[in-house]
Amino acid sequence: MKILFLHGWQSVPGGVKPTFLAQHGHEVINPKLPDEDFTLAVNVAQEEFDKHQPKVVVGSSRGGAVAMNIEIGEAKLVLLCPAWKEYGIARTVKPGTVILHSRAVDVVPFAESEELVRNSGLPASALIEVGDDHRLADPEPLEAMLRACGLS
């Protein structure tokens, strides 16, 4: 399956999460997003989405905010500790979106994902509490990300 993975601020393509998805047999498009220009990051992400037409878009932290601000049609949206209150203008997500977040996170408070679920009219089950830090790069959150993508 084709997945567009949008990394977080001061992160780079080829990290633990997109590599994990690729190791499970999926084609992962993982563009470098500019850190200092959110609008340009959204434009890069939209171009990659339009070019590759992935079935799933995964956005991590700032990359989650980027993902919320692009047009993805019928693709599934999976957000990892999305920094939506800090970046962009989108304040809701589409039905079927899954959000993974750790309560131990201080970078992006868990309450922000709870608010996003409420704003979007999603069921409480759309927010999955997992992991012990913001990176969500340990085995449990990685497996949860794979399930959220509908890939396991």
- What element of type H or E holds 28? strand 27-29
pLDDT higher than 80, residue 151: no
Structure tokens at 122: 């999603």
pLDDT tier for residue 6 given thresholds of 50, 70 and 90: very high
pLDDT in tens, 76-122: 999 999 999 999 999 999 999 999 999 986 789 999 999 999 999 99
Answer for the pair 59, 68: CB distance below 8 angstroms, yes or no: yes
Mean pLDDT along residues 22-30: 96
Give the gyration radius of the chain's Cα atoms. 14
Residue 83's Cβ-side half-sphere holds a number of Cα atoms within 13 Å equal to 18
pLDDT in tens, 28-49: 999 999 999 999 999 999 999 9
Answer for the pair 84, 38: CB distance below 8 angstroms, yes or no: no
Q: Taking the model in full, what pTM does it have?
A: 0.96
CATH number at residue 76: 3.40.50.1820
- Considering its fold, how many domains does the chain have in total? 1
C-alpha 123/C-alpha 7 separation (Å) is 26
Per the document, the length of the chain is 152
Q: Which domain holds residue 46?
A: 2-148
